[in-house]
Amino acid sequence: MPQNNNEVPVYLFVGFLESGKTKFIQETLEDKRFNSGERTLVLVCEEGIEEYDSSKYPSKNVEFRTIEEKEDLTEEKLAGFVKETRAERVVIEYNGMWLVNDLFNAMPESWAIYQVMFFADASTFLNYNNNMRSLVVDKLNVTELTIFNRYTRDMDPNEFHKIVRGVSRRTEIAYEYTDGTVAYDDIEDPLPFDVEADEITINDEDFALFYRDIMEEPLKYDGKIINFKGMTARNPKFPPDVFAMGRNIMTCCVEDIQFCWFVTESADASGIKERSWYIVRAAIKVQKHKFYRGKGPVLRVLEINPAAPPAKEVATFY
């Protein structure tokens, strides 16, 4: 990825204690293809049994800083670390019990996430998912690559695949076996609707999958016509011809239910009632919009009619 001169690239490694983060970062810093002389700050937010050995690094321009308490995760402290070390990039071993947004909110403006990897011990991951689902979802939501290490031949990849794909279709999945070999997940996940069609109809039970997919890959929907059932909402900041249309989606538990919506434009929105259910037929245009703080799918209403609520008003991925 090309680097803006003002950006500090951030390589973020997330996962729970003893999941293999330290080992991977150590091996990465031993690789002269990655560690070829750039001044690197390694920010350690969780210390396990494994330790870093800087004597093995091809470049000695690596400095470590530690944050032990979440309260110390502040923009001032992070900026201070970069200033002290004159770091050109940052590698973060993040605490698995902390929410990723706590880090994002504390990051200095010049820091830019270049890569996120999630590590999980396959022998304990299913228990973590059962008991701390919200923390697992928090990590899977942002990662580009999920690595299940300590994986054994008797484990069922479908169990792990289903959990990951219930949160993200974007992340790649890799299984690192105990003998050191690595296999990549190749289980197909066809969408329950025809994304190649010019006009797409979304069944009520598929809305969560549709919403996640269009927000992850909006351009493949650009120019399509979409039909779905959703709830309307308004905001005083919206112009008269704009309203929100979407549904409440639950990713893992009741506490994380959120209203997930699209910017929706209509030539005549005066009769649209707030917090009411409608079936909409709309054209999708991916464009910059202030309510997305960037580009996003804007729905231009072709037809909209009142409807009864779906059998399950909260959409899920299962």
Residue 11 in this model has a pLDDT that exceeds 70: yes
Residue 253 in this model has a pLDDT that exceeds 70: no
What is the secondary structure of 142-166 as a DSSP string? T-SEEEEEEE-TTS-HHHHHHHHHT
Q: Give the pLDDT mean for 145-162.
A: 95
What is the DSSP-derived secondary structure letter of residue 98?
A: S
Give the pLDDT confidence score for residue 254 in this predicted structure. 67
- Domains located in the chain, CATH noted: 8-184 (3.40.50.300), 199-315 (2.40.50.140)
Instruction: Quickly list H helices, the chain.
Output: 21-30, 75-85, 100-106, 122-131, 133-140, 157-165, 207-216
Give the pLDDT confidence score for residue 3 in this predicted structure. 53
Give the pLDDT confidence score for residue 168 in this predicted structure. 86
Lowest mean per-residue pLDDT among 158-172, 194-208, 298-312: 158-172
Cβ burial 79-118 (10 Å sphere, 16+ → b, else e): bebbeebebbbbbbbbbbebebeebeebbbeebbbbebbb
Digit-coded pLDDT (tens) for 190-247: 899 999 999 999 999 999 999 999 998 999 999 999 999 999 999 888 899 999 999 9
Q: 3-class SS at 138? A: helix
Give the pLDDT confidence score for residue 318 in this predicted structure. 66
**Per the structure block, which two tokens stand in for 13?**
């490694």
Lowest mean per-residue pLDDT among 23-27, 157-161, 247-251, 299-303: 247-251
Give the pLDDT confidence score for residue 255 in this predicted structure. 67
Q: Give the pLDDT mean for 102-107.
A: 96
Q: Give the pLDDT mean for 85-108.
A: 96
Give the pLDDT confidence score for residue 87 in this predicted structure. 96
Arithmetic mean of pLDDT over the chain: 93
The beta strand positions in the chain, using DSSP E, are 8-15, 40-44, 62-66, 89-93, 111-121, 145-151, 172-177, 182-184, 199-201, 225-233, 242-249, 258-265, 277-289, 294-306, 314-315
CA dist., res. 285 & res. 282, Å (int)? 10
